[in-house]
Structure 1
């Protein structure tokens, strides 16, 4: 959390930034990941971090004991998966009511809300985005078109038929579909969706989740990364060190994982009950912002 001195310096810096420039006159901004922070100061369950390290190398495969499998991984602390939007640092500090900034997902959010798609923030844009954020309990609801707002829209749109675009191949057996474009995953058997869709977090630019066909080759309910000593609950490995698994932190971050498909505890538990060793996994697309 910011110290009093840090906040004072930030406020002084903000005071020097001219705020009267019309939005239409500003060039479309590029948002380096370091400029966006969680807009709500988190508690001990969610520190000011933007990454949870995952297993990079393939694990040592062994047969877990019955006693080991009987233990369910602990639940995440309440509030861990709250929808906390990433906003510009100065707006997080000063707690603006309605953002004048053009967000990194401006065009996509405008299109989803059926607004004028020009990639520029306007008063009407901010009002509409803010209303959506309030309905979805996204905080802070300041109308900034950030990654959490965008991700929520993708999930809502996919609920009825996640494979409407037919990007995930249909097979008679179970296929776990990993859509990097929309950061969603689901399981289908034939054309029937048997799990999901749910939001997820895939690999970052330098450690992307590998595309194509894979197979679930090892499952470990209470796995812990031997590289980082990091819990990987409900881990289901499908390609080397890449696996579906839960994380004890937000999956809605501006930086991706080290290659794994990160899920909430509840979603990872649900997926564990659906997939089996030998099931197929298909990955396609491109993680936004990478």
Structure 2
């Protein structure tokens, strides 16, 4: 029997690519003021001591350069130091970003190390288009948009976060101002 007679099933890579596309579109519009996601964010209670809501599994405050993990609306780990994006390569803000890929030994397609090889992004947990991820790295200097964590924290984020989990990246000052309005 020839292959023409067999029904074709979608390949797993095609299904994953389609899912990633849908999740990216869902996450892309969440930073827009007045959007349904922004309103939903404002309507949800915050996890005490953080600028993120009880619906998140991971939180990043761009103002304090700190990150948390949440379980059942409570702090599970954190705050921990986090390096976020610097001038021209800011970490994108979003209220309902989603984990869409995890890769323990990822190499950057954009940045190089001192030897000219693709830069290592160990324990990468991707949550936004453009290769934006939590990953192990130096927490003392600005990143290229990712959220860098110390090794033990990067391992905890990698182990805990699952595909589809909600990530919130916010400015605590802006959250406070928006909630006071």
TM-score normalized by the length of structure 2: 0.61
Q: Number of matched residues?
A: 121
Structure 1 residues 243-289: Cα deviation after superposition (integer angstroms, max 9, x where no partner):
00012xx3113xx11100001111101111111111000011179xx
Instruction: Please give the alpha-carbon distance, in whole angstroms, between the structure 1 residues aligned to 2:60 and 2:109.
Output: 25
1:40-119 to 2 correspondences below 5 Å: none
Give the SS at the match of 2:68: strand
5+ residue gaps, structure 2, are: 1-12, 14-45, 113-117, 174-181
Give the distance between the partners of 2:47 and 2:64, measured in 1 at CA. 12
Task: Establish whether residue 269 from structure 1 lines up as the match of residue 155 from structure 2.
Answer: yes
Instruction: Tell me how far 1:221 sits from its aligned partner.
Output: 0.5
Please tell me whether residue 221 in structure 1 is matched to residue 104 in structure 2.
yes
Residue ranges of structure 1 left out of the alignment (5+ in a row) = 1-61, 63-161
Higher strand residue share: 2
Separation of aligned partners in 2, 1:202 and 1:231: 16
Q: Shift of the alpha carbon at 1:166?
A: 5.0
Confirm or deny: 8 A CA contact 1:214 1:239 kept in the other structure.
Answer: yes
- Aligned-pair distance for 1:169? 1.0
RMSD: 2.1
TM-score (norm 1): 0.39
Is 2:58 the partner of 1:176? yes
1:233 to 122, 125, 130: 122
Higher alpha-carbon Rg: 1
Structure 1 outlier segments of 4+, above 4 Å: none
Alpha-carbon distance, 1:205 to partner = 2.5
Cross-structure match for 1:242: 132
